[in-house]
Amino acid sequence: MNTQPLVTILINNYNYARFLGEAIDSALNQTYPNIEVVVVDDGSTDNSLEIISRYEERILPVLKENGGQASAFNTGFAKTKGEIIVFLDADDYLFPHTVEEVVAAWKPGIVKVQYRLQKIDNLKNPIGFCPAIDSPMDSGDVLPILLKKGRYISPVTSGNSFSRSVLTQILPVPEAEFRLCADAYLIFIAPFYGQVVSIEKTLGVYRIHGSNSWYANNSKSVTNVFQKLVQQDLKDYDLVTKKALELNYKVSQNLGFQDYIHLRFRLACLRLEPQNHPVESDSAFSLVFWGVRAVWLSNLGWKKRFTFSLWFLCVGFLPLPLAKLAIDRLDQRSGPRPLNWIIKKLRFQPVS
């Protein structure tokens, strides 16, 4: 790789005109000099095109009909020239030194560099980190972790940069399956082809906006979100399994059962609406058992292990009104807040 490789910042946008200018400005104002900025508009119906037109020759606009996030990734990548591709959701933004840090961390054999994001609300108040600040991100050869647990600790879209070589091998993202959450495809498939480097610094902002109200305001919609979260995880496990078999890797037969993050939302989903739970064979007892086991096999501190174990027991066995209170309290205290991530993804694209 060149000492100053061309880096593409690929911004994907759908109806985020109110945030888009800040995202583009953050890309253009990087301290690293050798950058191109590609902005893909996925058929917005707000004034996003007006915002894009203000930047004229400073960016490469890619305007297309609405097709979903995977379609935006595929179309945008085809227009890029960079050796490193930095993905950025239009409602997030990067810090000025982000690309400089990414390039400094890059070495031969790396397929992805990832970094922590500061989470903010609509008023730009800090509300945490993605991933949580006390959860070290996985680094190096993360494939054994992925094949064992079905996930490794990684941020969402705007915390990831990929090598052009790996994207050439794994794209296009299947557009029907990943109309939403297309970043999951990239995050789960890239480790099959090389090393992941984690920068334990906060290099960008992940914006939580819109209605993130919990179960108390609209239990039906929150239950729906849990169902979609579990279904998304199951789809990701299937993706990992198929890729592992394709490349002759041995993969765990019970992906997800060593992942307490997945299991806590799977248990919450079962308790809130068992008749519509995505996995018919699940029982509260089995999910509590596997959840507590996964917590104590994790690298969490002993206080968090105790807290999460107690949560599994409360949600699994207490009467439903009390279990609901425990479910609500968990999201307020958890670092990654996967529920907020799903809400944001669901708001990103209309589902036809």
Q: What is the pLDDT of residue 89?
A: 97
Q: Token pair for residue 220?
A: 């039906």
> How many other β-carbons are positioned within 10 Å of the β-carbon of residue 232?
19
179 versus 86: the higher-pLDDT residue is 86
Could you report the per-residue pLDDT of 115-154, keeping only the tens digit for each?
Answer: 999 999 888 999 999 998 877 899 999 999 999 989 899 9
- Cα–Cα dist 116/202, whole Å: 5
- Cα–Cα dist 158/89, whole Å: 6
Q: What is the DSSP string of 110-162?
A: EEEEEEEEEEE-TT--EEEEES-TTSPPP-BS-HHHHHHHS------GGGEEE
| CA atoms 195, 200, 201, 206: torsion sign | positive
Could you report the per-residue pLDDT of 233-265, keeping only the tens digit for each?
Answer: 999 999 999 999 999 999 988 888 988 989 998
Q: What is the pLDDT of residue 185?
A: 96
- Domains of the chain (ranges, CATH numbers): 7-207 (3.90.550.10), 219-336 (no CATH)
Read off the pLDDT band of 347 (50, 70, 90): very low
51-55, 174-178, 192-196 — which is least confidently predicted?
174-178
Q: What is the pLDDT of residue 53?
A: 96
Read off the pLDDT band of 2 (50, 70, 90): low
Nearest-5° angle of CA 128, CA 346, CA 165?
80
Look up residue 301 and give its DSSP letter. Answer: -
For the chain, what percent of residues have pLDDT higher than 90?
72
Q: What is the pLDDT of residue 279?
A: 93
Closest Cα partner for 348 from 207, 152, 203, 160? 207
- Cα–Cα dist 47/52, whole Å: 9
Closest Cα partner for 82 from 41, 34, 40? 34
What's the whole-number mean pLDDT along residues 187-195? Answer: 97
What's the whole-number mean pLDDT along residues 177-189? Answer: 93
Read off the pLDDT band of 352 (50, 70, 90): very low
Q: What is the pLDDT of residue 1?
A: 59
